[in-house]
Structure 1
Amino acid sequence: MSDKLRPSLSTLGAKVKELSEQLEQLYKDAKAPVPTLAADSPASTFTGEIFVVKQKLADAMNDLNIISQGPNESVFNYCHNVIPDVAALNIINHFDFWSAVPLEGTATVGDVAKKTQLPEEVVQRVIEHVTTLRYFAYTNPSIPKTSKIQHTSRSAALAKSFGLRALVTSTIQDCGPPMLVMPEALEKYSLGQQSLTRDVDKTAFALAHSGGEVFGKYGTVWDYLEHDGNGEKKGWRQRNFNGWMQYIKEIFGTDAVLLEAVDWKTAGEATVVDVGGSGGHDAFGLAEAFPNLKVIVEDLAESKPVFETNIPKGLTSRVSFQQHNFFEPQPIQADFYLFKFIFHDWPDKESIAILQALRPALKPGAKVIFVDYVGKQGEFDASLPRSIHQFGTSTDLRMMALFNHEERPTDAWRDIFRRADERFEVASVKANPLTYIVVIEAVWRGE
């Protein structure tokens, strides 16, 4: 058995100390303050080197946690806590406990109960749990039932960021129930089969929503996002999803990825179609950086109000919104078609259909700029921290639950273009395993 599976407590403790000191030094070198547990903690600094050291430290701390508890206790403790942890976070996020406590002050249980319209008993019991996770803190922990409540760095971050709150809602509320019924879905649709069914009507999501009483009766996650809610609240999940996607882009700096994906300056007076461009955040940044571009954002009707609310006044002559379903034939002839984080949500069959829908509008030399996740790196790269692989495998299981498909390595993305049409020529591929992003430029060589 490998010695890597027999680390001592002291060895791991020393590794944690070494990596902690290395991380602190990297923050100093970057002239960035180190995060704390306090409400005024600075946001994390993202650079490639800092990110890798963080993940190595996470791996070492996780190993130390496991062997310090022992195998039995570590499993027991995880299973005992994981669902209550998620449920409590879901509650405080759904009922916006964040705004019920002043960022620079305190609140009583009664204050939070009044703001959230929940019984004081519920507020007290939920707060007691989330303080163990460092969401909020008591000013006097020895008397939690009468102590005032204050923010920590984690709860303050959520109070300040709609995108982070949207991430919590989407990953827990939208994706959580389907993931919990994956065993039933696999038993119902895939047991005894040679491969996972790719039928989008036979997903764990569809099974979780088949009853309709709690989550609504929806066949796909897109129907759910688009139609859940009544009156003014209809489509709120789609707006929330847009916020989540924008937050993810901010974390990984995908705005810069898009700006550097093509030599936009030399493209001339080009027309760019941002297919599935949501509320237009990326389109705005692209148009602001390159005045020679005209950008058309295509998405479903629910994204139009977000677009109209956020479009900068100086861009209204060059950036527009057009309602379009990307499975339907593309109506606009353009120089570039952007697909950002679209295909990873669909199995191969649907991904190929999305590309094929472009063909009626494609002119010779038109380019498809494809930006998406490299959720899996192909063969396991032992040089990368396990937590980096975990990010990809978590997303991969989420894709299985929602869409009956998988996160793809770079070569699989190349193959999608080939299978869609041999006239797509893949001109360049740029992949970065530290940001999980691949950029592909494909040129249409048809007549």
Structure 2
Amino acid sequence: MASSNLRPTLSELGAKVKELSETLERLLKESEVEAPTLASDSPVNISKFTPEIFTTKQKLQDAMNDLSIISQGPSESVFNYAHNAVPDMAALNILNRFNFWEAVPLDGSASVQSIAQQVNLPEEAVQRVIEHATTIRYFAYADPAHPSTSPIQHTSRSAALARLPGLRALVSGCIENVGPSMLVMPEALEKFSLGKKDLPTDVSETAFKLAHSGGEVFGDYKNSWELLENDGVGEKKGWRQRTFIEWMAYLKDIFGTVDLLLGATDWEKEGSAHVVDIGGSGGHDAFALASAHPSLTITVQDLHECGPIFTSQVPATLASRVTFREHNFFNPQPVSADIYLLKMILHDWPDAQAIKIVQQLRPALRPGAKILFMDYMGKQGEIDPGLPRSITQFGTSTDLRMMALFNARERSLEAWKGIVERADERFEIVRVDANPLTYMVVMEVVWRGE
């Protein structure tokens, strides 16, 4: 079925789902990968993604989505989505904020009463949230025939969240940190863009700023980084920043950023190079790089709040070679080094700010110094228009988040090249690797200035 076919029948889509399901099952078996289930003892993910497994999985998702739409009918599918989307998100956010995940044993069950005691919420609230959560496969009734009295047990989804702190951090980041901004995007467009030819690029004219312009719930913050660093009181201050760092550590597994980093250049050839990891968070990627290449010396740079987290996590065996230095990447780079890493940094900023971040490297650059850009490429459809829609959707979802938070955008490969070229003509792009199936682009840039 071609992606442009808008008249598939139910039986055609059903056959497509069956064909792709059988193909995916076969591929998993051939790769000796255990397939996920709905049960709590399911693998938390598909452990090995070959390109064929990944594309088959995404094509299956597209076919199932189409089958769902036409089996409901257009208006009912819209009605059901609009009716359920925000309650689904709210239920997940509540479960995550109050850590329902650990209130239920992974190998057993718990009563609603005991869950309520564990999460310190009224029993009625817990009951009602779980009632909805079970409809979207977060938790299940151990005795489905008697839900009002049944103990609660894990499903594979809730068990994955119980097992993976990084996944909990991702949920918190996507919903709690970004959700308010996403919900006021219509107001932001009306206030800042209505009747204009171009979208604003000023970070003060964002949906984020509208959502965080005072008030008891969301506070008054200039940008999301200020929110991450300062939200909370007392010991809870900076909780969003700590969660964000955990999220970033989890993403290194999802996107394979460590493998990407290790393959970004010939590190053995670099010998005893000094590397600066700009915006390196708690140092998770730097630790992996230093462990793999004992000749490297690495300076991790980030804001003050990341320092204690780095100190608590740096392995003793690496402490002499991997150090932390407080630095705001909008200020001139203070460290002269051989290689600078910019990993997943520039995609958070509009073009003007992204270009400034690159330009602020210049005061420290020696002739021949390298900059390795590793970033998210959210416009995969521009590279391969035949990709499954679900792959494109991942990029467009992130693109809307960037619009809400920063008036930024996800970039195509050519747009990424343009950032470097516009920063300074003395930056020479010597190598580009871009793979739409990994969502990532790596560019090796050499400074040709004096």
Q: TM-score range by the shorter chain?
A: over 0.9
Letter in 1 for 2:79: F
Give the aligned length: 447
1:19 aligned residue? 20
Q: Give the drift of 1:247.
A: 1.3
Cα deviation, 1:201-234, whole Å, max 9, x if unaligned, reads 0100000011232111101000000111111111
2:300 aligned residue? 297
| SS, match of residue 353 in structure 2 | helix
Q: Give the drift of 1:380.
A: 6.9
Letter in 1 for 2:47: T
Q: Give me the whole-angstrom Cα distance separating, in 1, the residues matched to 2:303 and 2:214.
A: 26
In the alignment, is residue 45 of structure 1 matched against residue 47 of structure 2?
Answer: yes
Q: Give me the whole-angstrom Cα distance separating, in 2, the residues matched to 1:389 and 1:157.
A: 25
Does the 8 A contact of 2:433 with 2:442 survive in 1? yes
Q: TM-score, normalised by structure 2?
A: 0.98
1:89 aligned residue? 92
Q: Give the drift of 1:378.
A: 5.9
Q: Give me the whole-angstrom Cα distance separating, in 1, the residues matched to 2:4 and 2:391.
A: 22
Q: What pairs with 1:123-138 in structure 2 (closer than 5 Å)?
A: 123-138=126-141
1:174 aligned residue? 177
Does the 8 A contact of 2:108 with 2:153 survive in 1? yes
Greater shift after overlay, 136-145 or 146-155?
136-145
2:230 aligned residue? 227
1:153 aligned residue? 156
| SS, match of residue 434 in structure 2 | strand
Q: Give the drift of 1:342.
A: 0.3
| SS, match of residue 110 in structure 2 | coil
Q: Give the drift of 1:165.
A: 0.2
Unaligned runs of 5+ in 1: none
Greater shift after overlay, 3-12 or 373-382?
373-382
Cα deviation, 1:271-301, whole Å, max 9, x if unaligned, reads 0000000000000000000011000000011
Letter in 2 for 1:222: W
Q: Give me the whole-angstrom Cα distance separating, in 1, the residues matched to 2:285 and 2:224.
A: 23
2:7 aligned residue? 6
Q: What pairs with 1:23-38 in structure 2 (closer than 5 Å)?
A: 23-38=24-39
Q: Give me the whole-angstrom Cα distance separating, in 1, the residues matched to 2:85 and 2:214.
A: 26
Does the 8 A contact of 1:344 with 1:372 survive in 2? yes
Q: Give me the whole-angstrom Cα distance separating, in 2, the residues matched to 1:17 and 1:377.
A: 27
Q: What pairs with 1:30-429 in structure 2 (closer than 5 Å)?
A: 30-43=31-44, 44-47=46-49, 48-377=51-380, 379=382, 381-429=384-432
RMSD, aligned α-carbons: 1.2
Q: Give me the whole-angstrom Cα distance separating, in 1, the residues matched to 2:173 and 2:242.
A: 11
Change in Cα spacing, 1:385 to 1:3, as seen in structure 2 (3 Å) is closer
Letter in 1 for 2:16: K
Q: Give me the whole-angstrom Cα distance separating, in 2, the residues matched to 1:378 and 1:150.
A: 40
Unaligned runs of 5+ in 2: none
Q: TM-score, normalised by structure 1?
A: 0.98
Letter in 1 for 2:29: K
Change in Cα spacing, 1:266 to 1:104, as seen in structure 2 (3 Å) is same
Q: Give me the whole-angstrom Cα distance separating, in 1, the residues matched to 2:109 and 2:217.
A: 35
Q: Give the drift of 1:137.
A: 0.5
